[in-house]
Amino acid sequence: MSILCLWIPDWRIGEESSADLTPLFLEEVPRLAVEERGVVWMDVRGLPAERVARRLVERVTEREVGEVRAGVGAAPIVAEAAARFGGAVVSVVERGEEASFLASRPLDLLTADGHLLDLLAGAGLRSCGDLAALTAEAVEVRFGSEAVRAWRRARGDDRRVLFRPIPPQRPHATLDFVDYTVRDATRLVFPLNALLDQVCETLRARAQRARSITLTFSLSDGGSAREVLRTARPTADRALWVRRLRAALEKVQLGDAISGIALEVGSVEPVSALQGDLFDRGFATASFVEEAVARLLDRYRGLFVRQRSSGHPLAERRTSWADLTPEDVASGSAEDENAGPPALALQLLTAPRPIRVRTRGRRDHLVPVRYLEGKQWLDLNSAGPDRISGGHEEARPYAREYYRCVSDAGSLLWIYRDAMEERWYLHGWWD
Amino acid sequence: MSALADLRRVLEARFPNAVPLPERTVPQISTGLEALDQILPSGGLPRGRLSVWAPGIGGGAVLRSACMRAVERGERAAWVDGMGWEAPGMVWSGVAVARPRTEVQALECTEELLRSGGFAVVVLVGEGSTGAQRVRLCRAAREGRSALVELSAEPHMAAVRMWGRASAESFHWRANDLGEPVAVEAVTLRVRVAAAGWSRESDVALMVSNHEHSLSLDPGLADRRGVLR
């Protein structure tokens, strides 16, 4: 016997007048499913089904929710039929007796589809036994696929999945210090290493990798402290998690002595692999690159970046950087447009450098003709100016005249005159 | 004579890294510049070896080109920028860009990427490695079969050394109707390449990407072109 069905026609879930019976059910059975029509399914595999059913009926009756009856059977439809039509408070249908027990039951037990029930009644079928006596082919041809499902149920073959599979417990490991407490968290490296070994071994056995691991410290005062460890990408690599643990232990500050430690995997994902491409030269080494990049990102967050450029008038405010994941680096996929021919590109100094410049007048502006590099004056051949101004909306006004200058030394420089300060700056160069 | 040839073959088999690059036994990475590839001893940047471009003009453009050609061929390339410079509007086209905060981070990052064996070319821009650091990087490049290139003045252990220089006359200007220079369009670099038993020079032409200003003229200033006089 595996399914217990409680039939409580007057009980409605969510209504204030109805008692909440769910905690009571869960005290007796591990899994249950409740339907709005007052039917409660319970998983009684491995339990003394009839005894559990009687105890539940007694306890529910005490709550005064109206009529309560229970049925036990190998299939849901049998258990429901036993509960509704069994004639006793608790009815048990033994294995092998399902079809005969169902034979005299009405067809509306099998389906709630009114149209189908009308069709069946029109064909002169009155009970489950009438339907079960037909062949599956005849039922499917005349009444459709839904009728085949009802036909199966009429024969005691109910394939409904009432209970979702129980997810496996997340990998975890704990250690309690019974005889002593620890004040220095860094001393926990060795025990945590051992716990991590268990956790990573479980992950590998399940072909999973962890996105995060929660480290919990139980404190002597009864409290606890948590640290969530994350790596750049999900992994079951113990060495990587040990590094994260060490870093966390060095930083953690606890209010009291530690009386226990626990590690629990936060969320997991299955270990997966991509199908290779014969013409992708980088595919064979992708996993090595991902691992190398993940190690680097664990140490230096935000190390790998993608450049984004805006249209800000000030060149130094045009560039922003978005972090890349190991997968982004390994895939090497370019969101950027294709690069053109090899070309010198403008490079900016981290901050514009003030320089001394000699100028000559040209129409309405001054052109730089020499500038002081170290102790040497270098001649300049200059193009410009490109004038920009603005920034009043941010209370940081700017007004600059930019010149592209080729120096005697054979370098192409980007120089500007700050019209607000009346000073000259070297902003960048082409390389 | 045949005994000498036999000895040479044995030595090449035993010490493949000691074979001079002009022997062209080392796989190479094209720079994407034919004129430069022709004067490089192995026909490109040698894999598994260190190449150095001395500070000066053109190194960035040539090495970016080598990285992008590698990516175009379906391989990976990395650019480790230890200087934190910004290049507004730069198109990286799939090159992995790392921006370490310190010089140590840059060296560590370069070594890790080289050892992964997944990068055809790794470029290190910054203060550069010296002494033991460079030995480690060279070993990592050899293990990972990657072409390691440093923009550095330090030639120690470099299999190939490159210099680029230009004079004021090397730049090709575009002039306006008044004959005044408006923009630099191209430059012809004189590039010199040196390796063991090898020294070549060639002219290499490069475009100049002109930085476009998006003008934001502010009527609040006395001069609408933004200049107060």
pLDDT 10s digits, A133-178: 999 899 998 888 889 999 999 988 888 888 887 777 889 999 998 8
Instruction: Pick from A290, A321, A336, A344 the residue to mutate for testing the B interface (most B CBs within 10 Å).
Output: A344
- What local confidence, expressed as pLDDT, does residue B211 receive? 65
Probe site for chain A from B216, B223, B229 (most A CB atoms < 10 A):
B216
Burial A313-345 (b: 16+ CB within 10 A, else e): bbbeebbeeeebebbbbbbbebebeebeebbbb
Give yes or no for a contact between A4 and A34, defined as CB atoms under 8 angstroms apart. Answer: no
Chain B: closest CA distance from residue A152 (Å): 57
What average pLDDT does chain A have? 85
Q: What is the pLDDT of residue A356?
A: 93
Residue A30: CB atoms within 10 Å: 13
Residue A122: CB atoms within 10 A of its CB come to 8
Q: Which residues of chain B neighbour A332 with C-beta distances below 8 Å? A: 71, 76, 94, 96
- Beta-bridge partner residues of A112: none
Q: What is the pLDDT of residues A234-290, one digit of tens each?
A: 888 888 888 888 888 888 888 788 889 999 998 888 887 666 666 666 666 777 888
Q: Report the pLDDT value the prediction gives residue B214, as an integer from 0 to 100.
A: 46
How many whole angstroms separate alpha carbon B65 and alpha carbon B84?
Answer: 20
Distance, CA of A74 to CA of A89 (rounded, Å): 18
The answer to whether the CB atoms of B112 and A386 lie below 8 A apart is no
Does the structure show a pLDDT above 60 at B223? Answer: no
Q: What is the mean pLDDT of chain B?
A: 84
Q: In A, residues 281-300, which contact B (CB 8 Å cutoff)?
A: 281-282, 285-286, 288-289, 291-293, 295-296, 299-300
For A332, which residue in chain B has the nearest alpha carbon?
B94
Question: Which DSSP string corresponds to B217-228?
Answer: --TTSSSTTS--
Chain A residues inside the 8 Å CB shell of B68 = 339
Residues of A in contact with B96 (CB under 8 A): 293, 304, 324, 329, 332
Token pair for residue A215?
Answer: 């480290």
Q: Which residue of A has its CA nearest to B175?
A: A383
DSSP string, B29-80: E--S-HHHHHHSTTSSEETTSEEEE-SSTTHHHHHHHHHHHHHHTT--EEEE
Does B87 contact A346 at a Cβ distance shorter than 8 Å?
A: yes
Interface contact A361, partner B, CB < 8 A:
no
Average confidence (pLDDT) over B206-212? 79
Q: Can you name the residues that pair with A381 across neighbouring β-strands?
A: A406
Are the Cβ atoms of B97 and A305 closer than 8 angstroms? yes
**pLDDT value of residue A278:** 65
Give residues with Cβ within 8 angstroms of A363, minimum separation 6.
Answer: none
Give the pLDDT band of residue A307 (cuts 50, 70, 90). Answer: confident
What is the C-alpha separation between A169 and A345, in angstroms, rounded? 56
pTM value is: 0.66
pLDDT band at B226 (very low <50, low <70, confident <90, very high): very low
Separation of alpha carbons A238 and A245, rounded Å = 10
Q: Is the pLDDT of residue B228 over 60?
A: no
Interface test with A, best of B31, B37, B225, B228 (most A CBs within 10 A): B225
Report the SS3 class of residue A284: helix
Give the separation between CA B155 and CA A112, rounded to whole angstroms: 85
List of residues 6+ apart from A83 with CB closer than 8 A: A5, A6, A7, A39, A69, A70, A71, A91
Joined together, the tokens standing for residue A411 give 């370098």
Predicted pLDDT of residue A14: 62
Name the residue among A319, A352, A368 with its Cα closest to residue A426.
A352
Give the percent of chain A with pLDDT over 90: 16
| Chain A interface, best mutation among B57, B227, B229, by max A CB count within 10 A | B227
The shortest CB-CB distance from A392 to any of B115, B209, B218 is to: B218
Q: Is the pLDDT of residue B225 over 70?
A: no
Closest chain B residue to the Cα of A345, Cα to Cα: B209
Most confident of A278-292, A323-337, B150-164, B172-186: B150-164
Per the structure block, which two tokens stand in for A218? Answer: 């139980």
Which residues of chain B neighbour A353 with C-beta distances below 8 Å? Answer: none
Least CA distance to B57: which residue of chain A?
Answer: A431
DSSP B202: E
Are A343 and B209 within 8 A, CB to CB? Answer: yes
Res A179: pLDDT: 83
Q: How far is residue A240 CA from its own chain's centroid?
A: 20
In this complex, the residue of B88, B93, B118 whose CB is nearest that of residue A319 is B88
pLDDT of the residue at B5? 85
Pick from A79-83, A314-318, A366-370: least confident: A314-318
Confidence label for B227 from pLDDT (cuts 50, 70 and 90) = very low
Instruction: Please name the residue that has the structure tokens 């389906």.
Output: A111
The pLDDT, as a whole number, for residue A275 is 67
The phi, psi pair for A305, rounded to 5°, reads -135, 160
Question: What are phi and psi for residue A222, nearest 5 degrees?
Answer: 95, -10
Of B182, B209, B221, the CB nearest to A399: B221
pLDDT of residue B107: 93
Query: How many Å apart are CA A248 and CA A177, to the nearest integer?
Result: 20
Confidence at A84, pLDDT banded by 50, 70, 90? confident
In 3D, which of A408, A405, A399, A406 has the Cα closest to residue A384? A405
State the pLDDT at residue B229: 38
Determine how many CB atoms are found less than 10 A away from the CB of residue A142.
12
Write the pLDDT tens digit of every residue in B48-67.
Answer: 889 999 988 889 999 999 99
Structure tokens at A312: 């800000």
Provide the pLDDT for residue A273: 67
Task: Kindly give, in sequence order, each residue whose CB lies less than 8 Å from that of residue A94, ignoring residues fewer than 6 positions away.
Answer: none
ipTM for the predicted complex comes to 0.84
Count of residues making up chain A: 431
Cβ contact, residue pair B74, A279, below 8 Å: yes
Band of residue B221 on the pLDDT scale cut at 50, 70, 90: very low
Contact criterion met (CB < 8 Å) for B99 and A336: no
Cis omega before residue B20 (within 30°)? no
Residue A251: exposed, middle, or buried by beta-carbon count in 10 A (0-12, 13-18, 19+)? exposed
- Nearest to B120, CA basis, from B39, B32, B210, B4: B32
Phi and psi dihedrals of B62, rounded to 5? -65, -45
Q: In angstroms, what separates the C-alpha of B67 from chain A's closest C-alpha?
A: 11
